[in-house]
């Protein structure tokens, strides 16, 4: 995947991406075997959304085998995609070791990945659903700068602390 963005070194430090580009980015990061941390905060989450060869739920299950995967979502009715509609898939993810947290007032869509000293952060409007990753007109911003990652992480930390396990 070619990422065009703002670059202060050999890789882009900041870029904007629509839902489809975000989908490609997620496939790439969730496929990294040596990932140390994956935090997905998404109002809507459809574990059955499939891109390339696997569903989102399956990707998280595979990843949770080796790394800490945290998914924060909501049980609210405004989203049709979530634990209520996809109960069995959420159960499978929990069994595989995915830490699923519920936040009653969540609307954020933020994704964080860390592998050693390499990081990736994404903040935007894309839910992890078919709408957010392929159908709607979305905008997300992302980057690989550690200090920016930490800035986003501090915001997400508050959300995680206010959430409860499913």
Partner 1 sequence: MVVRKEPVVLPTRIMACDGWILNRKLIGWLKDNTTMEITIVVYRYHDLVFDAPRIASTGQQGLIHALAKAADRGVQLTFVTRDPLTDNADPMRPEAISGWYRGLKRLAQIEGTRVLIHNNLHAKIYLVKRGDEKVFYAVGSSNLTYQGMGFRWEECNVVGYSPLEYQEVEKQVGRIISGREILGLAEWKLKASKNLANARFLAYLV
CB 52, min distance to partner 1, A: 23
For residue 129, the 8-state DSSP code is S
Query: From CA 62, how far away is CA 93, in angstroms rounded?
Result: 9
Q: Is residue 9 within the footprint of partner 1 (CB under 8 A)?
A: yes
How many chain residues touch partner 1 (CB under 8 A)?
53
Rule CB under 8 A: is residue 77 a binding residue for partner 1? no
Q: Is 61 near partner 1 (CB under 8 A)?
A: no
Q: Which residues, other chains included, contact 147 with Cβ-Cβ below 8 Å and sequence gap of 6+?
A: none
Chain residues 132-151 in contact with partner 1, contact rule CB under 8 A: 132, 135-141, 143-148, 150-151
Backbone φ, ψ for residue 157 (5° rounding): -55, -40
Per rule CB under 8 A, is residue 66 in the interface with partner 1? no
Is residue 117 part of the contact set for partner 1 (CB under 8 A)? Answer: yes
């Amino acid at each position: 995947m070619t990422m065009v963005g703002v670059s202060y070194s050999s890789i882009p430090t900041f870029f904007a991406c629509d839902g489809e580009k975000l989908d490609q980015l997620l496939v790439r990061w969730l496929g990294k075997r040596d990932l140390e941390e994956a935090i997905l905060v998404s109002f809507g989450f459809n574990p059955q959304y499939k891109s390339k060869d696997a569903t989102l739920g399956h990707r998280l299950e595979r990843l949770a085998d080796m790394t800490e995967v945290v998914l924060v979502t909501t049980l609210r009715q405004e989203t049709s995609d979530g634990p209520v509609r996809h109960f069995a898939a959420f159960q499978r993810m929990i069994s595989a070791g995915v830490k699923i947290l519920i936040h009653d007032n969540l609307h954020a869509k933020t994704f964080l990945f860390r592998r050693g000293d390499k990081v990736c952060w994404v903040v935007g409007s894309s839910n992890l659903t078919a709408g957010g990753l392929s159908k709607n007109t979305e905008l997300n911003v992302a980057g690989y700068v550690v200090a920016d990652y930490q800035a986003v992480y501090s915001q997400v930390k508050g959300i995680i602390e206010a959430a409860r396990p499913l």
